[in-house]
Amino acid sequence: MRADAGLLLKVVAFAAEKHRNQRRKDPDASPYINHPIELANVLLHEGGVTDVVVLCAALLHDTLEDTQTTSEELALQFGSEIQAIVVEVTDNKKLKKRKRKELQMKHAPMLSTRAKLVKLADKICNLRDVASDPPPRWSLRRRIEYFDWAKSVVDGMRGVQPRLEAVFDATYALRPAAQRWRRHSKPAVRKPRT
């Protein structure tokens, strides 16, 4: 247990340093490190996941994608098991966003069990953020589309961990409702005849 705690603290310190100048897209521009910490928290406390390798990968899941961290650096610092999971859940930022989203849906069923757990926790946390504190410029339509896309990704990973999937389903229930605006025209006012 002591070694696990030491490794987790080493990973948190590494992730905090790598994300030190980054902010989330929420209205308060909260520190980015809050996001990977929340993933680990969801995995442990809501999903019952105690695998320290998965928790470490969750804390590091965006370092390759959003910082100057290399895959080799992760392997050297934390070992090949953790590095392999982070690589699995990392999008190729050289691709356009639409293509990256398509690839997430396509690759989700083929991820390792550990990578699926990290991906599932990421979708839970992202949906919670979009539901409670969406980026200021996100329209209702974009938020709804994000919820639906995230569900498509998660649907490709079903069966990996029913407890976390139930958490995702409860979070998906926060999906904003599409609003239809009906135009109400004023009834025609007739001028009285004189």
Q: What is the pLDDT at residue 179?
A: 63
Determine the Cα–Cα distance for residues 166 and 120; give it in Å rounded to an integer: 11
- Asked, for residue 184, whether it belongs to a domain, the answer is no
Region of poorest pLDDT, from 26-35, 40-49, 57-66, 162-171: 26-35
Alpha helices (runs of H) in the chain, residue ranges in sequence order = 2-18, 34-41, 52-60, 63-66, 71-78, 80-88, 97-107, 113-132, 140-155, 162-172
Given the residues 4, 51, 66, 81, select the one marked as catalytic: 66
Query: Annotated catalytic, 66?
Result: yes
What's the predicted TM-score (pTM) here? 0.90
- Asked, for residue 194, whether it belongs to a domain, the answer is no
Range of the domain at 86: 2-172
Distances from the Cα of 157 to the Cαs of 1, 58, 60, 61, 100, in angstroms? 30, 17, 21, 17, 17
Backbone phi and psi for residue 87, each to the nearest 5 degrees, phi listed first? -60, -45
pLDDT over 80 at 188, yes or no: no
CATH number at residue 84: 1.10.3210.10
Given the residues 4, 51, 65, 102, select the one marked as catalytic: 65
- Asked, for residue 153, whether it belongs to a domain, the answer is yes
Residue 54 near residue 62, CB atoms below 8 Å: no
- Asked, for residue 101, whether it belongs to a domain, the answer is yes
Average pLDDT, the chain: 92
- Asked, for residue 186, whether it belongs to a domain, the answer is no
Q: What is the pLDDT at residue 27?
A: 86
Number of domains in the chain: 1
- 126-184 pLDDT, tens digit per residue, is 999 999 999 999 999 999 999 999 999 999 999 999 999 999 999 999 999 876 544 44
| Better pLDDT: 11 or 193 | 11
Query: Annotated catalytic, 26?
Result: no
- Asked, for residue 190, whether it belongs to a domain, the answer is no
